[in-house]
Amino acid sequence: MVSSSQSSPPRCTTGVKGLDAILGGGLLRDRVYLFPGAPGVGKTTLGLQFLLEGARLGEKGLYITFSETKEEIEGVADSHGWDLSPVALFRYFEAQGAVRQAISVIKKRSGHHERTIREFAVGAGGVRVGKPLVEMDGVLTGLPIFRGEGRMDRKPAD
């Protein structure tokens, strides 16, 4: 016999009361959600609002995008008066026939932060962050151009 008094699975608020009501109290915890839709329907706004509500409640979150630039994301946030601090931007880029990864801290709530773009890699030894990519332009656009002489280092240095 199944008890009708079973508790519902834990949920987290989206930060939008009406949406939480439609969803029966919010999104189920510990799940990955994909928000597909046409440009301009509000996917980015909803995702950012959800993350900001989670941050307000002491939760950790991650926003992944494959096409939006940091300026586009900051523009959406600014249009709503939202502060996205801190924000680290990760990007894939191609160099020397290999897919590589870059990281940059683009905003931090308090204190100094470096504004460089650095290569990083995840491997058996953990995360390694390399030197600033000073010989590369356009890494965060997804269309980098190597401006240096010679070749890039094969592995990011500590």
Q: How confident is the model at residue 1 (pLDDT cuts 50, 70, 90)?
A: very low
Q: Is the bond preceding residue 86 a cis peptide, omega within 30 degrees?
A: yes
- In this prediction, residue 23 carries a pLDDT of 92
Q: How confident is the model at residue 143 (pLDDT cuts 50, 70, 90)?
A: confident
- In this prediction, residue 157 carries a pLDDT of 46
Mean pLDDT rounded to a whole number for the chain: 82
Average pLDDT over residues 147-151: 76
Whether pLDDT at 87 is above 80: no
Q: Which two tokens stand for residue 45?
A: 């706004």
Sign of CA dihedral 35, 40, 46, 52: positive
Whether pLDDT at 44 is above 80: yes
The whole-angstrom separation of Cα 137 and Cα 109 is 26
